[in-house]
A and B are shown apart, each in its own frame.
Chain A
Amino acid sequence: MNNIIECRNLTLAYDGVTVVRDLTFEVPRGEIMLISGENGSGKSTLVKTLLGLHKESSGEIKFDGAGRGRVGYLPQKSAIGADFPATVSEVVFSGFVGRLRYGMFLPRGAKDDVKKAMELTGTADIAEKCFNELSGGQQQRVLLARALCAAGDLIILDEPTNALDPVSAADMYKIIKSLKNDYGMTVLMVSHDLETSVTIADRVLHLCCDDAFCCPASEYAERLADAHADCGGIGNCESHHHGEAHHDDK
């Protein structure tokens, strides 16, 4: 199977309100897919559902290969307590939590995986520092290293550059690109920073009311530019109608 995730007719509800209706899309292996959409359009609910933290109302999700349980996940920044005592290396090693032997011992090769993840994210030199004393950008890279330890070949990033300064954000994008190019990973990324994130994405899934669509990133970038010229929003339910979510293979 060339797709790492296939979703068919997915309907998602949050607190009894349907936020995503009848969504069909695929995530091709080895690509970066951006999930965009207004607040409340169901991006976070979709991510939680893919992670198995939220139950879909109807429809089906198919994972290829290692699948659920081997998905690396970078949560939104605010989710983690600021006063938690932990060293960077403790946090990164906790990425193996789902892969522990007998639920207790590190899997074989864990130390090498950690070393690789820390080198990739540039966190090797702060391994013994206290996590909550780091800058926002450093913390985000540590959490990415943790996600890499959990990941098979799929990683889901929930607003990875949110609340980061421009330099840290640029670093983050560089790392994300390298995940795909140098490590052959598939990346699903929720982002509000559309202008930059669309430049590293291959494909965009735009969630909007009943009118979600999926298209190549280049096409989305053009629409983004058009939308700016019109002073209108992108993928507004009235202005753009693309019917059922679909995408064309390049």
Chain B
Amino acid sequence: MTISEIFAHDYMTVIVLRAVIVGVLVSVCSSLLGVSLVMKRYSMIGDGLSHVGYFALAIGAVAGVGSEFSLEAAIPIVILAAILILKLDDSPKISGDAACAIVSTGAVAVGTIIFGFVGTSTSDICGSLFGSASVVTVTNKDLVIAAVLFAVVVAWFALYSRQIFSVTFDEAFSSAAGCRAGSLRTVLAVLTAVTIVVGMKMMGAIMISALIVFPALTATQLCRSFRGVVIASAVTSVVCFILGFAAACFFSLQTGAAVVTVELAAFIISCIAGKIVRKRK
């Protein structure tokens, strides 16, 4: 489908716009949550949860929703997984990255077996891993869920920014000072879980965590203050998504792959730019 064909029909314009809006909303959420996750060395949680998302889609397939991805089934499952990973992380016997590896690989294995039983087609499984090939799959319901998620994440970040900064910077100090770091961490994990599920349809289970990790890392190369990094991360994420989405439309690429490639390019450029700026000082 070429760009002129897309906009030749009004209904296609609506569908494309809807996909862009959902993508932008999810990009902002993932980039904000990503700052805290990356700085707290929790990047792997994003990756682990996205694999659980794949498992959740398999459960959705069993529930008989057909090939259509069902967010209602996936969201609670991934939230539970997020809480489970945090609990495992707290236990002295298992380290955080090992906890993620256990949950994510286990989820993929069981999910694949379930897909096999249900007889889901390979192309549908590919869709859940690499993102759906067509933006047509984004529904109005997705848009509503993404809008609510966006409102919650942005409000949480705006209102609790001081606690988020402090716990991210130094959890032990914050707890000693009387901040309930544990509940803040749980909120972070739950919001991350929902963001991953909502973004997964477009980006695919394998690549959704890039949306969390890349903007924060790119912003860290360019900014020296936490506030700066948060803002730069959100801006980078939105710009990269729009560029990637446009590239996907123009050159008929997979949306998820195109967005992540643009994120990667932005990260490399920011590394070089950051080095040059620091040398000049």
Contact = CB atoms under 8 A, between A and B. Distances in A.
B169 interface: yes
A38 to B, nearest CB: 23
A69 interface: yes
B226 A90 contact: yes
Nearest to A106: B162
Contact of A130 (B166, B177, B219, B224): B224
A228 B193 CA distance: 59
B220 A51 contact: no
Most A C-beta atoms less than 10 A away, residue of B163, B173, B227: B173
Chain B interface size range: 20 to 34
Interface stretch (A80-88, A173-181, A187-195): A80-88
Interface string B134-170: 0000000000000000000000000110110111111
B172 A75 contact: yes
Contacts of B224: 85, 87, 130, 133
A68 interface: yes
B176 A53 contact: yes
A99 interface: yes
Contacts of B92: 15
A94 B162 contact: yes
Contacts of B167: 97
B177 A95 contact: yes
A15 to B, nearest CB: 7
Nearest to A95: B177
Contacts of B168: 84
Interface in B10-62: 39, 41
Chain A interface size range: 35 or more
A104 B170 CA distance: 18
Given A15-B92, A85-B224, A73 B165 contact: no
B176 A71 contact: yes
Given A68-B178, A98-B178, A103 B163 contact: yes
Contacts of A103: 160, 163
A98 B223 CA distance: 27
A73 B225 contact: no
Contacts of A98: 174, 177-179
A150 interface: yes
Interface in A5-53: 15, 51-53
Given A68-B178, A104-B159, A90 B165 contact: yes
A81 B227 contact: no
B32 to A, nearest CB: 15
A208 to B, nearest CB: 25
A91 interface: yes
B220 A69 contact: no
B172 A100 contact: no
Contacts of B106: none
Interface of A: 15, 51-53, 68-73, 75, 79-81, 83-87, 90-91, 93-100, 103-104, 106, 130, 133, 146-147, 150
